[in-house]
A and B are shown apart, each in its own frame.
Chain A
Amino acid sequence: MRRRSRYPVRRGAAVLWILVALSLVGCNKTPWNDPYPAADARANVLYSAFSERPKHLDPARAYSANEYEFIAQVYEPPLQYQYLDRPYRLVPLSAAAMPEVTYLDASGKRLPADTPARRIAYTVYRIRIRSGIRYQPHPCFARDRRGRPLYLDLKPGALDGIRTLADFPHTGTRELVAADFVYEIKRLADPRLHSPIFGLMSRYIVGLKGLRARLVEARRTDPDGYLDLAHYPLAGARVIDRYTYRIEIHGKYPQFRYWLAMPFFAPVPPEAARFYSQPGMAQRNITLDWYPVGTGPYMLTENNPNRRMVLSRNPNFHHETYPRHGAPGDAAQGLLHDAGRPLPFVNRVVFSLEKESIPYWNKFLQGYYDMSGISSGSFDQAVQVGAQGQESLTPAMRAKGMRLRTSVVPAIYYMGFNMLDPVVGGRSERARALREAISIAVDYEEYIAIFRNGRGIAAQGPIPPGIFGHRAGRAGIDPYVYDWVDGRARRKPIRAARALMARAGYPGGVDRHTGEPLILYLDSASSSGPDQQALLDWYRKQFAKLGIQLVVRSTFYNRFQDKMRKGTEQIFLWGWNADYPDPEDFLFLLYGPNGKVEHGGENASNYENPKFDRLFERMKDMDDGPVRRAIIERMLRIADRDAPWVWGFYPKEFRLYQAWDYNVKPNPMANNSLKYLRIDPGRRARLRRRWNRPVLWPLLAGIVLMGLFIVPAAVSYARKEHRRPAQRS
Chain B
Amino acid sequence: MIAYIIRRILYAVPILIGVNLITFVLFFSVNSPDDMARMQLGTKRVTPQAIQMWKHDHGYDKPLLYNAAQRGVDRFTDTIFFQKSVRLFAFDFGRSDSGRDIGSDIRQRMWPSLAIAVPVFVVGLLTNITMALLIVFFRATYLEVSAVVLSVVLMSISSLFYIIAGQYIVGKLMHLVPISGYAGGLSAFKFLVLPVVVGVISGIGSGTRWYRTIFLEEFGKDYVRTARAKGLSELRVLFRHVLQNGMVPILTGAMVILPLLFMGNLILESFFGIPGLGSYTIDAIQSQDFAIVRAMVFLGSVLYIVGLLLTDISYTLVDPRIRLR
Direct contact of A and B (CB under 8 A): yes
**Residues of chain A at the chain B interface (Cβ within 8 Å):** 1-2, 4-6, 21-22, 25, 31-35, 37, 55-56, 63-64, 191-192, 194, 196-200, 223, 282-285, 287, 289-290, 304-307, 352-356, 359, 362-363, 366, 368, 556-559, 561-562, 577, 579, 600, 602, 692-696, 698-699, 712-713, 716-717, 720-721, 724, 728
Contact B181 A196 (CB under 8 A): no
Contact B99 A34 (CB under 8 A): no
* CB closest chain-A residue, reference B204: A2
Q: Which residue from B147, B150, B179 sits with its C-beta under 8 Å from A33?
A: B179
* CB closest chain-A residue, reference B172: A362
Judge if B171 is at the interface, Cβ distance under 8 Å. Answer: yes
* Chain B positions 89 through 112: 1 when the CB is less than 8 Å from some CB of chain A, otherwise 0: 000000100111100110011000
List of B residues within 8 angstroms of A196 by Cβ? 41-42, 44-46, 50
Q: Which residue from A64, A362, A556, A713 sits with its C-beta under 8 Å from B42?
A: A64
List of A residues within 8 angstroms of B150 by Cβ? 1-2
Bound CA span A693–B175, Å: 7
Contact A37 B45 (CB under 8 A): no
Contact A716 B138 (CB under 8 A): yes
List of A residues within 8 angstroms of B204 by Cβ? 2
Q: Which residue from A1, A35, A695 sits with its C-beta under 8 Å from B178?
A: A35
User: Within the complex, what minimum Cβ distance (angstroms) separates B160 from chain A?
Assistant: 13
* CB closest chain-B residue, reference A694: B175
Given A32-B177, A356-B273, A695-B175 in contact, is the A194-B43 Cβ separation under 8 Å? no
Given A6-B134, A306-B275, A352-B181 in contact, is the A33-B288 Cβ separation under 8 Å? no
Bound CA span A321–B82, Å: 57
User: Within the complex, what minimum Cβ distance (angstroms) separates A191 from chain B?
Assistant: 6
Bound CA span A22–B170, Å: 14
Bound CA span A305–B283, Å: 12
* CB closest chain-B residue, reference A602: B45
Contact A713 B231 (CB under 8 A): no
List of A residues within 8 angstroms of B100 by Cβ? 285, 290, 305
Judge if B190 is at the interface, Cβ distance under 8 Å. Answer: yes
* CB closest chain-B residue, reference A525: B43
* CB closest chain-B residue, reference A574: B43
Judge if B38 is at the interface, Cβ distance under 8 Å. Answer: yes
Judge if B81 is at the interface, Cβ distance under 8 Å. Answer: no
A-B contacts, 10 listed (Cβ < 8 Å): A6-B137, A21-B189, A33-B176, A196-B45, A196-B50, A199-B45, A200-B45, A285-B105, A562-B38, A716-B138
Given A1-B150, A306-B109 in contact, is the A359-B179 Cβ separation under 8 Å? yes
Q: Which residue from B99, B141, B182 sits with its C-beta under 8 Å from A289?
A: B99
Contact B101 A359 (CB under 8 A): no
List of A residues within 8 angstroms of B54 by Cβ? 194
List of B residues within 8 angstroms of A35 by Cβ? 178-179, 181, 183, 191
Residues facing A in B19-67 (CB within 8 A) are 32, 34-36, 38-50, 53-54, 57
Contact A695 B173 (CB under 8 A): yes
Bound CA span A191–B57, Å: 9
Bound CA span A579–B109, Å: 36
Contact B104 A285 (CB under 8 A): yes
Judge if B226 is at the interface, Cβ distance under 8 Å. Answer: no
Given A196-B44, A354-B181, A362-B172 in contact, is the A558-B273 Cβ separation under 8 Å? no
Bound CA span A359–B234, Å: 49
User: Within the complex, what minimum Cβ distance (angstroms) separates A19 from chain B?
Assistant: 10
Contact A2 B178 (CB under 8 A): no
Bound CA span A712–B34, Å: 67
A-B pair count, CB < 8 Å, reads: 170
Contact B44 A2 (CB under 8 A): no
Contact A22 B176 (CB under 8 A): yes
User: Within the complex, what minimum Cβ distance (angstroms) separates B234 from chain A?
Assistant: 7
Bound CA span A192–B50, Å: 10
Contact A698 B174 (CB under 8 A): yes
List of B residues within 8 angstroms of A693 by Cβ? 175
Contact B45 A355 (CB under 8 A): no
List of A residues within 8 angstroms of B177 by Cβ? 32-33
Q: A35-B178, A197-B45, A355-B270 are in contact. List 18 more A-B contacts (CB 8 A).
A: A2-B201, A25-B190, A35-B183, A37-B183, A55-B98, A64-B43, A199-B45, A289-B99, A307-B275, A355-B279, A363-B178, A366-B175, A366-B179, A556-B288, A562-B34, A695-B173, A695-B176, A699-B176
User: Within the complex, what minimum Cβ distance (angstroms) separates B180 from chain A?
Assistant: 4
List of B residues within 8 angstroms of A579 by Cβ? 44
Judge if B143 is at the interface, Cβ distance under 8 Å. Answer: yes
List of A residues within 8 angstroms of B146 by Cβ? 1
* CB closest chain-A residue, reference B38: A558
Contact A359 B180 (CB under 8 A): yes
List of B residues within 8 angstroms of A558 by Cβ? 35-36, 38-39, 288
* CB closest chain-B residue, reference A719: B141
Contact A716 B178 (CB under 8 A): no
Q: Which of A194, A284, A353, A355 has the most CB of B within 10 A?
A: A194
User: Within the complex, what minimum Cβ distance (angstroms) separates B81 from chain A?
Assistant: 21
User: Within the complex, what minimum Cβ distance (angstroms) separates A267 from chain B?
Assistant: 23
Judge if B169 is at the interface, Cβ distance under 8 Å. Answer: yes
Judge if B158 is at the interface, Cβ distance under 8 Å. Answer: no
User: Within the complex, what minimum Cβ distance (angstroms) separates B190 from chain A?
Assistant: 6
Bound CA span A308–B181, Å: 10
* 3 closest cross-chain pairs (CB), A and B: A199-B47, A35-B178, A359-B180
Bound CA span A536–B109, Å: 37
List of B residues within 8 angstroms of A720 by Cβ? 138, 234
Judge if B131 is at the interface, Cβ distance under 8 Å. Answer: yes
Bound CA span A693–B173, Å: 10
Bound CA span A368–B180, Å: 11
Given A284-B101, A354-B180, A562-B34 in contact, is the A32-B190 Cβ separation under 8 Å? yes
Q: Which residue from A25, A32, A194, A289 sits with its C-beta under 8 Å from B41?
A: A194
List of B residues within 8 angstroms of A352 by Cβ? 181
Contact B104 A359 (CB under 8 A): no
Q: Which residue from A1, A25, A695 sits with its C-beta under 8 Å from B174?
A: A695
Contact A698 B43 (CB under 8 A): no
List of B residues within 8 angstroms of A6 by Cβ? 134, 137
Contact B57 A194 (CB under 8 A): yes
* CB closest chain-B residue, reference A353: B275
Q: Which of A32, A33, A223 has the most CB of B within 10 A?
A: A33
Bound CA span A223–B53, Å: 12
Contact B42 A63 (CB under 8 A): yes
Contact A194 B53 (CB under 8 A): yes
Bound CA span A1–B147, Å: 8
Given A6-B134, A22-B176, A284-B104 in contact, is the A602-B44 Cβ separation under 8 Å? yes
Q: Which residue from B35, B44, B270, B273 sits with its C-beta under 8 Å from A562?
A: B35
Bound CA span A675–B213, Å: 64
* CB closest chain-A residue, reference B190: A25
* CB closest chain-A residue, reference B104: A285
List of B residues within 8 angstroms of A285 by Cβ? 100-101, 104-105
Bound CA span A712–B138, Å: 11
* CB closest chain-B residue, reference A2: B204
List of B residues within 8 angstroms of A306 by Cβ? 105, 108-109, 275, 280
List of A residues within 8 angstroms of B40 by Cβ? 55
Bound CA span A355–B282, Å: 12
* CB closest chain-B residue, reference A724: B234
User: Within the complex, what minimum Cβ distance (angstroms) separates A18 from chain B?
Assistant: 8
Bound CA span A717–B178, Å: 40
User: Within the complex, what minimum Cβ distance (angstroms) separates B187 from chain A?
Assistant: 7
List of A residues within 8 angstroms of B279 by Cβ? 355
List of B residues within 8 angstroms of A22 by Cβ? 176, 190
List of B residues within 8 angstroms of A198 by Cβ? 47, 50
Bound CA span A716–B137, Å: 10
User: Within the complex, what minimum Cβ distance (angstroms) separates A288 from chain B?
Assistant: 11
Q: Which of B34, B36, B45, B98 has the most CB of A within 10 A?
A: B45
Given A55-B40, A694-B176, A716-B138 in contact, is the A600-B47 Cβ separation under 8 Å? yes
User: Within the complex, what minimum Cβ distance (angstroms) separates B27 from chain A?
Assistant: 13
Contact B234 A692 (CB under 8 A): no
Bound CA span A625–B42, Å: 35
Given A191-B53, A353-B275, A600-B48 in contact, is the A287-B99 Cβ separation under 8 Å? yes
